A and B are shown apart, each in its own frame.
Chain A
Amino acid sequence: MQILITLVLMLILVPPAAAETIYVSNEQDNTVAVVDGATMTLQAAIDVGRRPRGMALSVDKKTLFVAEGDDNRIDVVDLAKRQVVGQLPSGADPEFFVVHPDGKRLFVANENDNQVSVVDIAGAKIIGTVDVGVEPEGMAVSADGRAVACTSETTSMVHLIDAATLELIDNLLVDTRPRAVAFSVDGKQLWVSSEIRGTVTVFDTATRAQTGKIEFEVPGIRREGVQAVGIEMSRDGATAYVALGPANRIAEVDTKTFTVRRLYLVGQRPWHVALSDDQKQLISANGNSGDISFIDLENQEVVKSLPVGRGPWGVVIGP
């Protein structure tokens, strides 16, 4: 009896998983899937513009911005209403973008125009552009808001942009067809994935010297089948998660030693990954199998895959 009471008490005392919502952009059916994080169930599909890919939350986390590549705009989704309530200009073919920590500006990669557009959210207008290499794609902003990074796929570079003056600080050569870029939590490092080489290159943000290179080996899969795309950093700065595209794996990387701790087998062709707020769950958006994978990081296992639509690409976790 006492055991039972203890058990019941334990169940009551253990806080339930935080009420989180997972948003997934489906680039082929023009929706954003809404998934309840606690029950791991599909709640809704929000109709958005054509070819939604990059997404980001507003600073107050009440709004989701969605880049619509084929419509040359960014949709503004009210998360309480779960519908598009407005639009922002983005420049041509927006793919990925970031919300600046000032909460007022978006930095958008214009894949067809070889530039980054800066969008004033309140005024719904483009207030600046920066010329970068051919096919800009990945975007990141440092936590202090001073630097914005952008990769250009065909140019094989990451461009560092001064967020205030919009001038190019530096252009760093990386491995072929760079996709995602991320700042380390302390802002001191810049991580860049290369799709064709299947590598991640790490730079010192201040000196711009290359400080590390991570290669991924997946048993049974050849070099060309291992391609690095999305990157997510853990809040404690100790771990990076890298989606390996056609290798159908997510790599967990030790950020100090640059070694791969383990690989998670997920759905087909994961593009991007996102961590839950409590850092215990990782979600991958799997483009070819049309689902997302839930990875329990404490038990180090994939616990569920959930169909969410056609061509899942971006994933964002909000309240």
Chain B
Amino acid sequence: MAISNIQLGLLDLSRTTLALAFVGLLAVAVPALAGPQTMVIGYLGEQRKLPLSLGPLDEAVTDDGLQGARLGIADDAGTGRFLGQQFRLQEKVLKPGEAPAEAVNAFAAAGISFIVADLDAAQLLQASAASGAQRMTLFNSRDPDDGLRQENCRRNILHTIPSRAMLADALAQYLVWKGWQHWFLLTGPHPDDLAMAAAFRRAATRFGAQITIDKPWTFRPANGRADTGHVTLQTEIPAATQVGDYDVLVVADEADEFGAYLEGRTALPRTVAGTQGLVATGWSAVDQEWGATQLQDRFHKQAGRWMLPSDYAAWLAVRSIGEAATRLHSLDPTAIAKYLRGDDFLLAGFKGQGLSFRPWDGQMRQPILIAGPRLLVSSSPQPGFLHQRTPLDTLGIDLEESTCRF
């Protein structure tokens, strides 16, 4: 559609004119956008600064999330073509600092009821508060912030990306299952690192592990790619990890600044787990179990790179809408929004069991992969961690501890 081009062309105009022109144009375009048998799903992303590439094998990716949503549309169309249902993605990527409300309202004016919100927490909350979002469902496919599932939960947000609590619980279960109960927690300086560390501490308490050493990472990020950079690291890391005994080093470094330097350099010969080393994640390119091979293959064919956790979360969002439309034989957004949150909804997500949304905070229940750099190591929940509803609810914030009030 030409709509996105028109949007770009209008950006230079004054704000008022822009808003008015916008609504007018989109209103005219509605019939073409959403015919009786076509579901248009919005994708709202934001331009991000590329992270510092740590190693030569790291690929710079600028379209993570978006590619997952596109593959979801292709998969929805697979069933849709037999049922007379068409699916289309309307894409909008915000510039750095651009507020999301206008884009959300434009989507609403275009008759869009579901948005893959590939946004950070603050942007997501703004998007959900936009007037156009009040009758929408936004899928958080990006931010693992536990607050979004707790005090900052919103009635119109479902979360397909796992929360930090889920990731930490998944890793904790595996480490406890291994008998590695004494952890050395090493935390980076950024707010996200502190949040991840808090989730690890909570998980340790829940599953009977002990954080025997709890230290912040105080060294400046070293660049291992500098010529002879390894020489610096070889002396720095043993010094930073010169602590008492422990079973496993759990690292909280979401910015990927130092965690990858730990493996093979710690003072004691210990495994590294957490945000680097043995990672807990919603998705990993190393997984080929539960039929994942086919999903990985067709993603790679489409995107020319491996599927990342944010791609998978966006794919889950689009597939959830498709699955609901299939089961309901309908593209009615009200019916779909209700069905998604109901007991009957079950999505096949290549993780060995059906996935569904928790009614108390809108989080998608899902197994969490425990992945090594080349191979899948395990998948949580681990055997023996029981729950009165489903073992999947041993991961993350449970009904009884939820402070979410929609």
Contacts and interface: CB of A to CB of B under 8 A. Distances in A.
A133 B82 contact: yes
Interface stretch (A35-43, A60-68, A171-179): A171-179
Residue in B83, B294, B391 with the greatest tally of chain A CB atoms within 10 Å: B294
Contact of A157 (B82, B347, B391): B82
A154 interface: yes
5 contacts: A93-B294, A153-B291, A153-B294, A155-B82, A224-B390
Contacts of A135: 291, 294
B348 A176 contact: yes
Contact of B75 (A154, A157, A195): A154
Residue in A155, A157, A196 with the greatest tally of chain B CB atoms within 10 Å: A155
Interface in A188-231: 195-197, 222-225, 227
A246 interface: yes
Nearest to A245: B352
Contact of A177 (B75, B326, B348, B390): B348
The number of chain A residues touching the other chain, given as a range, is: 20 to 34
Interface in B51-98: 75, 78-79, 82-83
B298 interface: yes
A196 B294 CA distance: 17
Given A152-B78, A246-B352, 10 more contacts: A133-B79, A154-B79, A154-B348, A173-B82, A176-B346, A177-B348, A196-B354, A197-B354, A223-B390, A224-B354
A223 B390 CA distance: 9
Contacts of A93: 294, 297
A155 B291 contact: no
Nearest to A134: B78
Interface in A40-61: none
B205 interface: no
B235 interface: no
List 8 tightest A-B contacts by C-beta distance, closest first. Answer: A134-B78, A224-B353, A177-B348, A171-B82, A196-B354, A155-B79, A155-B78, A196-B348
B46 interface: no
Contacts of B298: 112
B288 to A, nearest CB: 10
A173 B294 CA distance: 21
A114 interface: yes
B143 interface: no
Nearest to A173: B326
A149 to B, nearest CB: 15
A196 B348 CA distance: 7
Contacts of A225: 353
Residue in A154, A195, A223 with the greatest tally of chain B CB atoms within 10 Å: A154
Contact of A133 (B78, B291, B353, B390): B78
Contacts of B390: 222-224
A75 interface: no
A68 B137 CA distance: 43
B78 A197 contact: no
Interface string B290-303: 01001001100000
B287 interface: no
A197 B294 CA distance: 20
The number of chain B residues touching the other chain, given as a range, is: 20 to 34
B193 interface: no
A156 B347 CA distance: 11
Contacts of B291: 135, 153
A111 interface: yes
B278 to A, nearest CB: 22
Contacts of B391: 222
B323 interface: yes
A154 B323 CA distance: 9
Nearest to A198: B354
Residue in A114, A222, A224 with the greatest tally of chain B CB atoms within 10 Å: A224
A283 B300 CA distance: 38
Contact of B347 (A134, A153, A171, A176): A176
Given A196-B354, A197-B346, A156 B294 contact: no
Contacts of B348: 153-154, 156, 176-177, 195-196
A134 B326 contact: no
A173 B82 CA distance: 9
Given A135-B294, A246-B352, A154 B78 contact: yes
B82 A112 contact: no
Given A176-B347, A196-B353, A111 B78 contact: no
Nearest to B329: A173
A157 B297 contact: no
Interface string B348-382: 10001110000000000000000000000000000
Contact of A156 (B326, B353, B392): B326
Contacts of A114: 78
Contacts of B354: 176, 196-197, 224
A171 B323 CA distance: 16
A157 B392 CA distance: 27
